[in-house]
A and B are shown apart, each in its own frame.
Chain A
Amino acid sequence: MQNFTPLSATVGGLLIGLSATILWVVNGRTAGISNIAGGIYPIRRSDELWRWVFLIGLPVGAYLGFVAAPAIFAEVPKTLPVITLTPVWLIGTGLLVGVGTRVGRGCTSGHGICGLSRLSVRSLVAVATFMATAMITVFIVRHVV
């Protein structure tokens, strides 16, 4: 299998699980990114500040991981991600992801990692649904159109 990076993927996943554990045990919150992002505005209570702090941590961590990962795992590429999509396409798909995760109340982290960890049937249905539509979409884009 080309580009399959089982070791770094598993370690990355374990770290995400650790992150979710800290946020739950210390802050009593679920590490669902779409939910955290959905509550950042308006800043009316102290409830919003932790969301900003968490969200700012994401790119900081991503940069640290990008610098460190290739030195630890030979399988991880040293190159930055390449985004080939046009700005208009990015805006359109960003809107779909924003609206969809808000209406469905969760994304790959909230339903995917946290919901499945809690053995939530609701989250299982959500994960099966977004995996299915995403796979169908990629099939159409890559193999039909």
Chain B
Amino acid sequence: MGQSIIEKIWEQHIVHQEEGKPDLLYIDLHLVHEVTSPQAFSGLRMKGRTVRRPDKTFATMDHNIPTDNRKVINDKIALNQMTTLEKNCEEFQIPLAGIDHPDQGIVHVIGPELGLTQPGMTIVCGDSHTSTHGAFGSIAFGIGTSEVEHVLATQTIWRQKPKTLKIEINGKRQQGVSAKDVILYVLSQYGFDFGTGHVIEYTGEVIDHMSMEERMTICNMSIEGGARAGLVNPDETTFSYLRGRKYVPTGEAFEQLVTKWQSLVSDEDATYDRVITMDAANIAPMVSWGTNPAMTSKVTDSIPTSSDYETAVEKKSLESALKYMGLEEGQKIEDIQIQHVFIGSCTNSRLEDLREAASVIKGNKVHPDVRALVVPGSQTVKSLAEEEGLDEIFREAGFEWRDSGCSMCLSMNNDIVPSGEHCASTSNRNFEGRQGSGARTHLVSPIMAAAAAIHGHFVDVRKMVERQPVR
């Protein structure tokens, strides 16, 4: 019987197996950032332990790094976390893309960008959106601080074998429908916990034709569906993305890797614990209106009403979400006024995202009631965008152009949405208080955010884009 890529990678990484216990799994790449690592390092120090494979570990700082002025860091606690990471990396010999390093960026943006992320790998990081790296055909998942320490010390982790879920997306997307809309649509249809206990394999025509950037956006939000991880089979798109990247071998060595990676692809007759099939033609630009990512509708729709739900629990959660969001049942999505636009985060802050947003922004102005910022996912993305003149387009329209970091995705630095105000955000979580206490987040694609910035409310970006039908 055939195997899926998930099973193949899993089996290749088992170091030890024992009745009644999880599998001990080898980890190929451990990414580290400033917020979830300090206690793990001090744990090592207390026990006199070392980092087993600093060469398979890579650190950066992104969560509470300032994105406006890097010379002056006023937040003493944030500064302490950053200098602690510097010291830890020095002591344990771990490569670090620190605050002044040209490779610095959001951990899930720089892994792929530097070619650290490769097909067939097991990848962990003390951060739930580690699922992003699955776009390359790897099993990538977030871990807690004790587990960060465990991986540092042993390069392994104990994990129960996951269940497998195949999501097949067929057909063609309409123009103006982004990868972000595809994953938001999946969440709107199947809820925030449909993936519990599973690793998702995304397949089908739509995924096959997606760029690596788009696949990363999809895999990034697997966690919002409760899945342990999400991945895409590696193909020519994957290999050509990786060819020539900083940490990828060159020449013959690379071609040998490609041959190995090709063998990972799911067999035709592979079976799954669960399969979901959908048609891309049904997907429209999406906007989240509630306080979890599944509370999302098409931009042309209205916010649901209590009668759309059956159970008392659902009715209650609609009510409390709308109360927090300051919205009404049945209100048209296009009538939601916004005061902030955030283009950034590990979901949508890559060069392609910025290009698309800029194509909508070009020649327009940010609405006078709106404050808009672009936070590139990495310093590399930032400089590439500047080479293309994208920064000029954003600046001229009235956007702030920042240094890279997590920024307004979780507002641990100073980039905060004030209480009661609405933000069109390209990030991945719209939980209460995520972008600041009382802040009201609407998750959208980069082009939808760009369109909202111009109009001051949500608009159907399909009316604005005049590109050829995509792929």
Do the two shown chains form a genuine complex with each other? no
